[in-house]
Amino acid sequence: MLRANLMNVPSRMSLRRIPTSLHLPVRMAYAGAWEALVVTHTAQALQFLCEFASRLPVLEALDLYFQVVAVPEAMQETVRTRTLTGLELESLPAPTPMPEPQGWQRFRLQVLLEHQRYRRRYQERTVQLARMVGARAAEAVIATHVENAIGFSGLLRAVMPVEQATDHYLREFSLSAGTAHMVWQRVQARVAGEALTAQYADPVRPRIEEAAVEAAGG
């Protein structure tokens, strides 16, 4: 079972080292990033319920989603509510009934033991599949964090470098070390092209070249 992180709600995220003039835009960015994560988790949870409807009742499947996907505790109730209100029961696959011993077989010890083993294997396979699907959901959440961090860095571009802004986002959204590392790398990869292009607009370059020409002429 994964442990949900203790992410603060947007209204309690820090504005430390943020210029006063940007307090409102940053607070709005926090709220927008939070909402994007809720939307992602809700979409993933709805897909999860559809995929496991034949194996588990809806409420059990939703509990299992929260076990295999690290949804922040402060966000869980919102995700749960939106998932249930967005669920279309008529579109769910019918549950697959668990085979049960019939007739005289119910009194045979060997049959009962084999049935118990089957149920245990079925439950273990359900959890195994859930963890696989949970990994897919985690990838979607990471992608959302990357988009959020890039937008946040753009908002603060005039007051801090992208690395510092990304660190600020990762810290305020309380990402685990492993997830933070993946988000950091993907943000850097996304902004690398822009940074390389920007170097040619750097006014320092022509000044250096002019100084070199003057030195050679002197």
119-123, 137-141, 156-160: least confidently modelled range: 119-123
Q: Give me the number of domains the chain comprises.
A: 1
- Looking at the domain assignment, is residue 31 inside a domain? yes
- Looking at the domain assignment, is residue 155 inside a domain? yes
| 117, containing H or E segment | helix 109-155
Find tokens 């011993």 and name the residue. Answer: 101
- Looking at the domain assignment, is residue 166 inside a domain? yes
3-state secondary structure of 87: coil
% of the chain with per-residue pLDDT over 90 = 67
Find tokens 């690290």 and name the residue. Answer: 70
- pLDDT of residue 181 exceeding 60, the answer is yes
- pLDDT of residue 217 exceeding 70, the answer is no
Distance CA 131, CA 127 (A): 6
Q: Which residue segment(s) compose the domain that 160 sits in? A: 10-96+111-217
- pLDDT of residue 29 exceeding 80, the answer is yes
pTM: 0.81
For the residues 103-109, what does the mean pLDDT come to? 59
- pLDDT of residue 134 exceeding 80, the answer is yes
- Looking at the domain assignment, is residue 45 inside a domain? yes
| 47, containing H or E segment | helix 23-52
